A and B are shown apart, each in its own frame.
Chain A
Amino acid sequence: DVKVTQSSRYLVKRTGEKVFLECVQDMDHENMFWYRQDPGLGLRLIYFSYDVKMKEKGDIPEGYSVSREKKERFSLILESASTNQTSMYLCASSFRVVFSEQFFGPGTRLTVL
């Protein structure tokens, strides 16, 4: 059974803290993605990676960075969390970048106080 796991389901942080969100996939996929999901806005792509140590900016990269040191692991980093980064964060992986199913993790609900 294919699986994408995220390190936390719920997270509460304070403004200015550094936050790490971890994602691991067991499908040997080349491509991994980080989205944030907000009501009425759908899923917006933050960053994606199509290979180890490679990263590409998505539509809303400001305030975020990523790390991909191993094929199965893709980390999202909030260098200095702000209240407008309160959101649901979804990680996904896929075999190909396009025409390919994306497999999602269960999400991390992050609240920044």
Chain B
Amino acid sequence: TQLLEQSPQFLSIQEGENLTVYCNSSSVFSSLQWYRQEPGEGPVLLVTVVTGGEVKKLKRLTFQFGDARKDSSLHITAAQPGDTGLYLCAGSVEDKLVFGAGTILRVKS
């Protein structure tokens, strides 16, 4: 059973479009992280959110942590081909990180 459900699993869009990916759970997390993984590489941290309701912006990427700290979203504005990759969310549970299965994003030029 996946503790963290990510949706959609796959997303293929045109350059310039906006998109949102979701990370949902029935569990409460003390913090939540988003990572991006490119083919042949390990995941790289994009952001950590800690407070319920928190919103963080990283250029064209906006991250939100749900008020109850059970869910999160990642919104990308005006997607570019360089945004292509696997986006993973990971929640802190006790002394471990639990990862979702990820959303594969492909941005076509």
Binding site for B on A (CB under 8 A): 4, 9, 35, 40-45, 48, 58, 90, 92, 97-99, 101-107
Contact = CB atoms under 8 A, between A and B. Distances in A.
User: Size band of the B side of the interface?
Assistant: 20 to 34
B33 interface: yes
Contacts of B50: 99
Contacts of A44: 99
A41 B101 CA distance: 5
Contacts of A48: 96
A46 B92 CA distance: 16
B78 interface: no
Contacts, number: 59
A43 B99 contact: yes
Contacts of A97: 95-96
Interface of B: 2, 4, 6, 9, 30-31, 33, 40-45, 48, 50, 88, 90, 92, 94-97, 99-102
Given A45-B96, A104-B43, A105-B42, 19 more contacts: A9-B40, A41-B101, A42-B4, A42-B102, A43-B43, A43-B90, A45-B97, A58-B96, A92-B42, A97-B95, A97-B96, A98-B92, A98-B97, A99-B31, A99-B92, A104-B42, A106-B40, A106-B42, A107-B41
